[in-house]
């Protein structure tokens, strides 16, 4: 495909069919191109009823994904639960390019490799160690102090796959529950005394690189509940986070959209915590908050198109994650106030089943003052139930 043309029969494929692929697909449809999705779930996922090109199979099956990729002009990721070796075989068998490339993905495909990659590139990361037995658990606590965090090296998200441990006995139990005794790699990370959790998205391809504003993520029980942009911290910390995000994207020679999460410490250090080779919850605010959203630049990046501006549309943007409040068929209620708000935007993901704590929707509000906008966004969305 030429970078100056958009054939109507061009087809972009997403490995994963959840809300990230859904919001990316909406931008692909804006460009008049076709969308295909590959799901490994039994339930219907948010993108599957949006396109006739819906495929099901296993992320462990090269044959399943190669058959899917052959139907596409380019394939991209919605999650990082796939093996880079499998992605490499899929690309070779199908002849369809995958972005981020399997080589880039291999540098961050699990938390241990990710830390090693960025540490090698001179980017400050949280102190970590691969844990192989109880002696390692005890030694890490003695060296870095209690509490600390144990994480499954692969597959964790939204509070799943990680546990904060406060003593050796709890660490042993967590190591077992996270799969350490069954061969899963478990890493320990020092507990960082931070003042803010920050995030930066970077879009990158052969046409150039775009860095988004540094935002703050507000966490509760290991789940992001809100995002504020720009982050309410000194501009030098915002710039430092952006610089490190650019360096991290370059370190893996990434093509696509990437998210980088940071800790800002009491001492003013900015430390890279985690990355994601895909759109990220911390960037949902960009749909209305920026001239070009992370999802549009995701599509542009992997298709080799010129990237769009990441500039904010208003001085302040607040995004509230709307989590499931019941275990039942999904139904969003009490949305009148949110819908009536000027500069307010409600996004419902189309998940068929609600679960307590599950990300089901989000509400974004644009304004002139960050604190006032955040408080208003919380008030407008407080009574929404899903």
Q: Report d(CA 344, CA 350) in Å as an integer.
A: 19
291-306: average pLDDT: 98
Tell me what pLDDT residue 221 has.
84
- 43 confidence band (pLDDT: 50, 70, 90): confident
- At 184 the pLDDT is 85
pLDDT digit string, tens, across residues 160-170: 678 999 999 99
Range 87-92 average pLDDT: 98
Average pLDDT of the chain, as a whole number: 94
Delimiting residues of CATH 3.40.50.20 domain(s) in the chain: 11-99
Percent of the residues in the chain that have a pLDDT greater than 70, as a whole number: 98
User: Per residue in 308-329, pLDDT tens?
Assistant: 999 999 999 999 999 999 999 9
> If pLDDT is split at 50, 70 and 90, which confidence band does 80 have?
confident
Q: How far apart are CA 297 and CA 286, in angstroms?
A: 10
pLDDT band for 3, please (50, 70, 90 cuts). Answer: low
How much is the pLDDT for 17?
A: 95
Task: List every span in the chain annotated with CATH 3.30.470.20.
Answer: 194-381
Q: Radius of gyration of the chain from Cα atoms?
A: 20
Model confidence at 124: pLDDT above 80: yes
Report residue 36's pLDDT band, with 50, 70 and 90 as the boundaries. Answer: very high
Q: What is the pLDDT of residues 177-235, one digit of tens each?
A: 998 878 789 999 999 989 999 999 999 999 999 999 999 999 998 899 999 999 999 99
Architecture of domain 194-381: 2-Layer Sandwich (3.30)
The pLDDT, as a whole number, for residue 126 is 93
Residue 355 has pLDDT above 90, yes or no: yes
Q: Which CATH architecture has domain 11-99?
A: 3-Layer(aba) Sandwich (3.40)
Which percentage of the chain shows pLDDT scores above 90?
Answer: 88
Q: Taking the CB of residue 336, how many other CB atoms lie within 10 A of it?
A: 11
Write out the DSSP string of 82-135.
Answer: S-HHHHHHHHHHH---EES-HHHHHTTSSHHHHHHHHHHTT--B--EEEE-SHH
Q: What is the CATH number of domain 127-190?
A: 3.30.1490.20
CB 283 within 8 A of CB 224: no
Region 244-260 average pLDDT? 98
Ramachandran class of 332: left when φ > 0, alpha when ψ lies in -120 to 50, beta otherwise: beta
Q: Are 141 and 168 in contact (CB under 8 A)?
A: yes
Domain with CATH 3.30.1490.20 in the chain: 127-190
Q: What is the pLDDT of residues 356-385, one digit of tens each?
A: 999 999 999 999 999 999 999 999 999 999
pLDDT at 154 over 80: no
Query: What's the distance, CA 52 to chain centroid?
Result: 26
């Amino acid at each position: 495909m030429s970078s100056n043309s958009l054939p109507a029969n061009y087809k972009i494929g997403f490995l994963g069919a959840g809300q990230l692929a859904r919001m990316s697909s909406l931008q692909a449809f804006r460009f008049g191109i076709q969308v295909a999705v590959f799901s490994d779930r039994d339930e219907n996922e948010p993108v599957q009823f949006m396109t006739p090109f819906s495929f099901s199979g296993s992320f462990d099956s090269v044959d399943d994904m190669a058959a899917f990729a052959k139907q596409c002009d380019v394939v991209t990721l919605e999650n990082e639960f796939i093996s880079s070796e499998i992605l490499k075989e899929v690309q070779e068998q199908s002849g369809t390019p995958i972005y981020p490339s399997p080589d880039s993905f291999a540098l961050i495909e699990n938390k241990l490799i990710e830390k090693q990659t960025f540490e090698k590139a001179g980017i400050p990361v949280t102190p970590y160690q691969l844990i192989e037995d109880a002696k390692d658990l005890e030694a890490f606590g003695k060296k870095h102090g209690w509490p600390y965090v144990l994480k499954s090296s692969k597959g964790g998200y939204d509070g799943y796959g990680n546990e904060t441990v406060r003593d050796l006995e709890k660490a042993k139990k967590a190591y077992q529950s996270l799969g350490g005794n069954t061969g899963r790699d478990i890493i320990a990370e020092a507990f960082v005394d931070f003042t803010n959790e920050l995030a930066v998205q970077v879009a990158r391809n052969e046409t150039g690189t775009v860095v988004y504003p540094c935002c703050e993520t507000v966490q509760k029980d290991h789940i992001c509940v809100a995002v504020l942009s720009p982050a309410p911290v000194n501009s030098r910390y915002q710039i430092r986070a952006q610089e490190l995000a650019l360096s991290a994207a370059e370190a893996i020679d990434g093509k696509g959209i990437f998210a980088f999460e940071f800790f800002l410490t009491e001492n003013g250090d900015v430390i890279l915590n985690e990355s994601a080779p895909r759109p990220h919850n911390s960037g949902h605010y960009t749909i209305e908050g920026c001239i070009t959203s992370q999802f549009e630049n995701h599509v542009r990046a992997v298709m080799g198109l010129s990237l769009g501006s990441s500039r904010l549309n208003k001085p302040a943007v607040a995004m509230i994650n709307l989590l499931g409040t019941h275990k039942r068929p999904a139904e969003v209620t009490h949305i009148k106030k949110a819908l009536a708000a000027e500069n307010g935007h409600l996004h419902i993901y189309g998940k068929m089943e609600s679960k307590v704590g599950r990300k089901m929707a989000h509400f974004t509000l644009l304004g002139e003052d960050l604190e006032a906008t955040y408080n208003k966004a919380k008030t407008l969305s407080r009574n929404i139930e899903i």
